[in-house]
Structure 1
Amino acid sequence: MKNTILITGASGGIGKEFALVAAENKNDVLLVARSGDLLNALCEQIKATYKVKADYIVADLSDYGSAENLYKEVINRGYRINYLINNAGFGDYGNFLERSLAKYQQMIHLNITSLTELTWLFAKDMVKDKRGGILNIASTAAFQPDPYMAIYGATKSFVANFTEALSYELKGTGVTATVLSPGATTTGFFDEAQMGQSKMVSSKMMNANKVARIGYHAMMKGKLHVIAGFMNKLLGFFSATMPPSRFRLKIAAAVLGKK
């Protein structure tokens, strides 16, 4: 049975790679992002290369009410979503008090509220169908407090904890919930977050396609939480075993600090 996969934040970065990987595996895709031109070009590429259905909806999920409007548009177009990849999200770098409150509000709405609403809306349909899966994108930033990216890290901690709890509640329904935690990845994330002066930008980054493949296959297998990359898995292990302390904060601040 062919699946239809809805992917948010699909116009570039990991989201675009999710779309290509999903299509390569013979799934139909419905792509969501703010840029209609980029989505249209990606859909044409997918249809020509993989011979599957590819459609898109232009939406800014940082806007209030956008998740419900997106769900309604999906239904109006006659789609039944079998898998949802909540990839859309962004970060912001700098001292908490020196950054924009309005941007933080947008970030919280996109990274937490819209992700939660879309999960609730589409998972209810999947449970009725007794099959499907949710893949929510967290980050290695979820593993510890993150000085200079305090709000972003906190939103990703929410994503990780929420998805793991949801996975437990969905047992026996035929629907799974998976969380993917990438580390530094070759996308436009660091430019958008204005992280040019951060030490993280100098670190070795994973390829976005590789991250997407790891996440896609984890979702299809119904895994609980997958961390992309060996070094990121080590980070996750040490973060989980290290007790909360000022020392832990100092390590995080050193990693995220300026060059």
Structure 2
Amino acid sequence: MGSKYDLAIITGGSSGIGNSIIESVSKLEPDASLFNLSRRIPASFSNDPKRVHLECDLADRAARSTVLDELVRRISESPQKGPILLVNNAGFGIYGDVVQHPPAEHLELLEVNVCALVELTLRLLPLLKERGGAVMNIASTSAFQPTPYLATYGASKAFVLNWTLALGEELKGSSVHAIAVCPGPTKTEFFQRAGFSKRVVPAGYSHQPEEVSRMALDALYRRQRFTVTGALNKAASLFSYLLPLALRTRVAGRVIRRFRPNPNN
């Protein structure tokens, strides 16, 4: 794979999949400038002038708008005028009965997982169309069925998958490519932040962030429209998709319920 992008923008790159994508992109595109949008600065950004951290709480609409203005300004003033890669990676989950969490938590999740992704993509699309490039949106295998006890998270990822596929169809024939990436369980901070008591995921379905980023970028460079990471996750997603919707929901609920902190609830 040869050099393809002059600029890359990643959200949520301070850890996990986002951080691994940053490191993978820097190896594939050694001359590219990298921008990260998150609350924490990635450790590798402290002494590298080609790596720019823009601190932002992506759940805060006003802060998001201000940072996006700054990002567009910096990109427009950059001497690098070639293709741009946008990776909307930031996201989180909340675990438990829907009513267990206050409405504000569900709305915060939707701001990060959905609203920030849409806003950032639409703000940058004019530049991407002008220079060429790609939009990579990180969805999840949770997108393929309703997910009781992860209801808002799963629904947000279903939005990401469907919105990205629709966007990709609209962009056909243009200089911009869109891809949705659906990782299975990944060894990141997700489980702990979401409130799981423990991880009950067979080893074959779980991947390291570095594996996910490698598979995601490989699919991007091959111009796939979407990809599920890992053979077992692909098979499980296909099997789930073939089941009636009500049965898919019931099976997902039984699997996810195993994570409950109090099994008597």
Given the two structures, how large is their TM-score scaled by the length of structure 1?
0.90
Deviation at 1:28, TM superposition (A): 2.3
Report deviation, 1:203.
Answer: 7.8
Q: 1:166 to 1:204 in 2, by over 3 A?
A: closer
Answering whether residue 59 of structure 2 is matched by residue 62 of structure 1, we say: yes
What are the within-5 Å matches in structure 2 for residues 172-183 of structure 1?
A: 172-183=173-184
Q: Does 1:19 align with 2:16?
A: no
Report SS of the residue matched to 2:91.
coil
Q: Which residue type is aligned with residue 10 of structure 1?
A: G
Q: Paired residue for 2:36? A: 31
Change (3 A) 1:183 1:75: same
Say if 1:197 and 1:100 are closer, same or farther in 2 by CA, change over 3 A. Answer: farther
Map of 2:69 onto structure 1: 72
Q: TM-score, normalised by structure 2?
A: 0.88
| Pair 193,202 (structure 1): closer, same or farther in 2 beyond 3 Å | farther
1:1-259 aligned at under 5 Å gives the runs: 2-25=5-28, 26=30, 27-36=32-41, 39=42, 41-44=43-46, 47=48, 53-77=50-74, 78-79=77-78, 82-129=84-131, 131-197=132-198, 199-200=200-201, 205-245=206-246, 247-258=247-258
CA–CA distance in structure 2, aligned partners of residues 213 and 203 of structure 1: 17
Deviations along 1:124-159, one digit per CA (max 9) or x if unpaired, are 211122x10000000000000001000000000000
Please state whether the residue corresponding to 2:37 is helix, strand or coil.
Answer: strand
- In angstroms, what is the RMSD of aligned CA positions? 2.0
**Structure 2 residue matching 1:65: 3-state secondary structure:** helix
Structure 1 residues 197-225: Cα deviation after superposition (integer angstroms, max 9, x where no partner): 46349885201101011112222332101
Indicate the SS of the match to 2:10.
Answer: strand
- 2:262 maps to none
Question: Which residue identity does 1:249 align to in structure 2?
Answer: T
8 A Cα contact 1:134 1:219, kept in partner? no
SS class of match (2:195): coil
Aligned-partner SS, 1:256: helix
SS of structure 2 residue aligned to 1:213? helix
Structure 2 unaligned spans of 5+: 260-265
Give the 3-state SS of the residue equivalent to 2:118 in structure 1: helix
Amino acid at match of 2:114: I
State the alpha-carbon separation in 1 of the partners of residues 253 and 199 from structure 2: 10
Q: Which amino acid is 1:147 matched to?
A: P
Identity rate of aligned residues, in percent? 31
Structure-2 separation of matches of 1:120 and 1:212? 24
- Larger mean CA deviation between 111-120 and 232-241 belongs to 232-241
Query: How far apart are 1:54 and its partner, in Å?
Result: 1.3
